[in-house]
Amino acid sequence: SYVSKDSPDTDKRNDDKWWIPTVKVPPDGLSQASRRFLQYQKDCVNQVLKAAMAINAQVLFEMEIPESYIDSLPKVNTITLSQILKMEQLTLVFHTEREG
């Protein structure tokens, strides 16, 4: 359960994120069923996050960068910024595929 609006100020959050509800845990901890449910929720959210990251990496990799934009990028020694961006894209895709 959460701390109610009417509870004493000692139970309320006093930091920068005051809008986030404060969770109230029973003194003897959570039940096994509650722990299993929270672990299941965590696993589901993690799975959705990995899928979203993979989709984002794939979309970024497939995006075409206009030649006019690439030509306008400054040169960094002998490597262009566009080459660095491409290497970063490949690294992102590679890491996402390995984690998936």
Distance in angstroms (rounded) separating the CA atoms of residues 99 and 53:
10
Mean pLDDT of 72-90: 72
Distance in angstroms (rounded) separating the CA atoms of residues 90 and 98:
12
> 51-67, pLDDT tens digit by residue?
999 999 999 888 888 88
Of 9, 11, 10, the closest CA to residue 1 belongs to 11
> 5-52, pLDDT tens digit by residue?
666 655 566 677 777 777 788 889 999 999 999 999 999 999 999 999
Record the pTM.
0.49
Distance in angstroms (rounded) separating the CA atoms of residues 94 and 90:
6
What is the predicted pLDDT for the residue at 39? 97
Domain ranges of the chain: 29-99
Local structure of 23: helix, strand or coil: strand
CA angle at residue 76 from 74 to 78, to 5 degrees?
Answer: 115
In contact, 82 and 65? CB cutoff 8 Å: yes
DSSP 30: -
